[in-house]
Chain A
Amino acid sequence: MFAYIVRRVLATIPVMAIVALFVFSLLYIAPGDPAAVIAGDQATPDDVERIRQSLGLDRPFLVRFGEWVFRIVRGDLGVSIFTNLPVSTMIAQRVQPTLSLMVLTLILAVSIAVPMGVVAAWRQGTLVDRAVMGFAVLGFSVPVFVVGYVLAYIFALELDWLPVQGYTSLDQGFFPWLENLILPSIALGGVYIALIARITRATMLEVLQQDYIRTARAKGAGQGSILFLHALKNAAVPIVTVIGIGVALLIGGAVVTESVFAIPGLGRLTVDAILRRDYPVIQGVILLFSFVYVLVNLLIDILYTLIDPRIRY
């Protein structure tokens, strides 16, 4: 199993290399000449050329890519064109809100979606099942920001139960923090819940037809224990896989949700960077998000061996 883990970790290296190459090319072909920007309006073409040489911008693509990767690996993501702050510092300042939002959404979505899928599979063909499947189609169809606005309108503006927007740091207490994140989490969780509930239902339907479920029923196991102990355990692998893949939805959705609810996180940083064409920041954020995404799925692959002892590598 150790050999498998090593192999699996090594397999992520080419994937991350492709991501890095893509993200680097992004800056490489980005319009605008950094040398000309630094030289300013008064500079002669000679000045610009000198700055270009001193920055190493005149060297071949692969040499620059190699150096850039070397810097990234040491944690140096470059400097923002707009604020002149190191990109890593800007990202560090914005991590907490985004991480809070995503973790809360993850917990919320999994704890709602899995029971939904299980019940839908148990009561296949009934009204409950149809309601769950209908909800899933809706979840896939109504975009994150639409759900966000509807929720904010009902629960913040009309009912005045929760704050309309903003973010309170976790340092200022758990409940103020939670209060600000409930609506964004529900909005962000919609698609994610739909995805997980669908897969849970489909896998459970398959598992519930297995012989060992009949055996469990025959020996007198209770309905709850059959569903959640015997069946769900055996349906876990596809469900956990989809939870991992769905993190991409969370990341993409966070960018929008943070805009709707004015949460000062990485999503807002991305949007601001795009509007200002701040390429080093865009680069850094994409690199970070992709890295997290790859890491999550790597951990899940390794987790399989733990949750399902039948899997042996």
Chain B
Amino acid sequence: MSATALRAPLDTAPAPTPQSVAEAAPLPDVLPPVTPRRGFIGFLRRNPTIAIGAGLLLLMVFVAAFAPLLWTADPTSLAPARRTREPSAQYWFGTDMLGRDVYSRVLYGARVSLLVGFSVALLSSAIGLAIGLVSGFVRWADGIIMRIMDGLMSIPPILLAIAMMALTRASVQNVIIAITIAEVPRVSRLVRGVVLSLREQPYVDAAVAAGTRTPRIILRHILPNTLAPITVQATYICASAMIVEAILSFIGAGTPPIIPSWGNIMAEGRALWQVKPYIVFFPAIFLSITVLAVNLLGDGLRDILDPRMAKSV
């Protein structure tokens, strides 16, 4: 009897939940399935930096391409009678000291920046890739090439570009060449490093063991693996090339003054900037936004293309 009395509490139902404790709503039988959005929109959602960067960059490309249709006037037509007008309904960004429409000049200036940025990125990637591959595969050339690259890298890039520009006539083409020469050493070093580490991969050993010839190894096994870091590097080079172009033009060693480029517009506005700051500020804003767009794109690409690098920087 006493034994059952002791066991009794175990047989009874559990004590009712105290009033103060809220009871969670029962879970639904099936949790709603998580459907990751696929396709283009999903990709943009998962990579907001790429979405913002690419969006802004496309906008700039659009502006550059369709500058004549975007309510611009001739960016080089002079009108001394209406010089240094403040921004207004007629002159959206005002006019400069020669009466030229700053809005039109800034829009046309996008062409120079983008042309220089894209060209330098493409050229220096291609040249750097070639040099880096040679350096990574041809033992005797490696020492010489890398010493030369070290030498060039020990000249600050802007000074190197300035030195090249001092030798030649001012033209957009020469600006592109000068900045490319300044950027090539860095790409070469990057590619060489990637090539050297790829050469140690088991699959390259396997290819060698299978009797694959070197050109084919480079083409099939090395080259595709260098493309991801090069693409990321190319976007950063594009951004820095646009800044260097603006700096060169700003100090009078870049794009010839007759071509409206953001650096040139700022250089011309420099003398008046304390009284007419808008001449300097509008191209400055466009330049900053464009470079920001390219940098965001680069960060986004780095995160998806090069996870190892993304972790380190």
What is A's interface to B at a CB cutoff of 8 Å? 14-19, 21-23, 26, 29-31, 137-138, 140-146, 149-150, 153, 157, 164, 198-199, 202, 206, 248-249, 251-253, 255-256, 259-260, 270-271, 273-275, 277, 279, 282, 285-286, 289-290, 293-294, 297
Query: What does the 1/0 interface line of B278-297 toward A look like (CB < 8 Å)?
Result: 00110010011001100110
B193 at interface, CB cutoff 8 A: no
Whether B162 is near chain A, meaning CB under 8 Å from some CB there, is: yes
Residues from chain B with Cβ under 8 Å of A30 in the complex: 166-167
Q: Are A137 and B292 in contact (CB under 8 A)?
A: yes
- With A15-B147, A256-B251, A270-B162 known as contacts, the answer to whether A22 contacts B156 (CB < 8 A) is no
Residue B304 at the chain A interface, CB threshold 8 Å: no
Contacts of A260 in B (CB 8 A): 270
Q: Tell me the B residues contacting A by CB distance below 8 Å.
A: 147-148, 150-152, 154-160, 162-163, 165-167, 239, 243, 246-247, 250-253, 266, 270, 273-274, 277, 280-281, 284, 287-288, 291-292, 295-296, 299, 311-313
> Can you list 18 A-B contacts with CB-CB less than 8 angstroms, sorted by A residue number?
A15-B154, A18-B150, A21-B151, A23-B163, A138-B292, A141-B288, A142-B291, A143-B287, A145-B247, A145-B284, A149-B273, A149-B284, A199-B313, A248-B156, A252-B159, A286-B159, A293-B155, A293-B156
Taking CB atoms, residues of chain A closer than 8 Å to B299 are: 137
CA distance A26 to B6 in the complex (A): 103
Known: A30-B167, A198-B313, A274-B252. A143 touches B288 (CB 8 A): yes
Q: Say yes or no: A140 contacts B159, CB within 8 Å.
A: no
In contact, A290 and B156 (Cβ under 8 angstroms): yes
Q: Please give me the 9 A-B residue pairs with the lowest Cβ-Cβ distance, nearest first.
A: A18-B151, A252-B158, A141-B292, A248-B156, A146-B284, A141-B291, A251-B156, A142-B288, A252-B156
Q: Which residues of B contact A198 (CB under 8 A)?
A: 313
Which of B151, B166, B253, B274 lies in contact with A22, CB distance below 8 A?
B151
Whether the pair B151, A19 counts as a contact (CB closer than 8 A) is yes
Which of A18, A198, A249 counts the most chain B CB atoms within 10 A? A18
Question: Contact: B157 with A248, CB < 8 Å?
Answer: yes
Residue in contact with B167 in the complex, picked from A21, A26, A199, A286, CB distance below 8 Å: A26
A-B contact count (CB 8 A): 141
A271 vs B287: C-alpha distance when bound (angstroms): 22
Most B CB within 10 A of own CB, among A138, A274, A277: A274
Complex: how many Å from CA A293 to CA B150? 12
In the complex, are the beta carbons of A143 and B147 less than 8 A apart?
no
B155:A290 contact, CB within 8 angstroms = yes
Within 8 Å CB of A271, what residues of B? 251-253
* B162 partner residues in chain A, CB cutoff 8 A: 255, 270, 274, 282
B295 touches A140 (CB 8 A): yes
Q: How far is the CA of A199 from the CA of B154 in the complex (A)?
A: 21
Is the beta-carbon distance between B152 and A18 smaller than 8 angstroms?
yes
Q: How far does the Cβ of A245 sit from chain B's closest Cβ, in whole Å?
A: 9
Residues of B within 8 A of A144 (CB): 247
Interface contact B292-A22, CB-CB below 8 Å: no
With a cutoff of 8 Å between Cβ atoms, the chain A residues found around residue B247 in the complex are: 143-145, 252, 255-256
Residues of B within 8 A of A157 (CB): 274, 277
- Once bound together, how far apart are the Cα atoms of A206 and B148, in whole Å? 34
In Å, the complex CA distance between A140 and B246 comes to: 14
New A-B contacts (6) at CB < 8 Å, excluding given A19-B155, A29-B167, A290-B159: A19-B154, A140-B291, A143-B243, A149-B273, A256-B247, A271-B251
Q: Are B288 and A146 in contact (CB under 8 A)?
A: yes
A149 touches B277 (CB 8 A): yes
